[in-house]
Amino acid sequence: MQQKGIYSFSKSSRLKSRKKLQQVFSTGRRLYSGNVKLLYLKESAENPAVHCGVGTSSRHFRKAVDRNRIKRLLREAYRQQQQPLKERAAQTNSSYSLFFLFTGKELPLYNDIYRQVGRILEKLTNSTHEVVL
């Protein structure tokens, strides 16, 4: 029997708080893989959770249609590969705030985004030198 919601990306797991976003951008750590950049903040918490946001630059993608497509691809790649990070957060009693940025200048293919997001999440899940706030 498959668990319900194991691959879901609900509104409650999105990073929407302006205060938390500013904190991620100002004091968060960074990981890179190709054209994808991850800004993250790890905090100790009683209720482990992973919150995620996505974005891209309007400088390179003038059309909102292109920006929305890239954000959709980032969200889908994260949604399919989020489970190991959620398990890690539960094991270590920590809360993660993630923000994925696409820094490329051309429209990406889904396979490229999927591979890059997977590498970043693997680096984040396997890293042990993180500072817990």
Helix (H) or strand (E) holding 84: helix 83-92
Give the tens place of pLDDT for each residue, 86-112: 999 888 899 999 999 999 999 999 999
In a domain, 1, yes or no: no
pLDDT of res. 1? 39
The boundaries of the domain holding residue 46 are: 31-126
CATH of the domain at 46: 3.30.230.10
Quote the pTM value.
0.87
In a domain, 5, yes or no: no
Question: Cβ–Cβ contacts within 10 Å for residue 82, how many?
Answer: 20
In a domain, 16, yes or no: no
In a domain, 111, yes or no: yes
Phi, psi of 84, deg, nearest 5: -60, -35
Going by their DSSP bridges, the two strands 29-33 and 36-44 should be labelled as antiparallel
Token digits of residue 33: 């893989």
Number of structural domains (the chain) is 1
In a domain, 13, yes or no: no
The structure tokens 């990070």 sit at 85
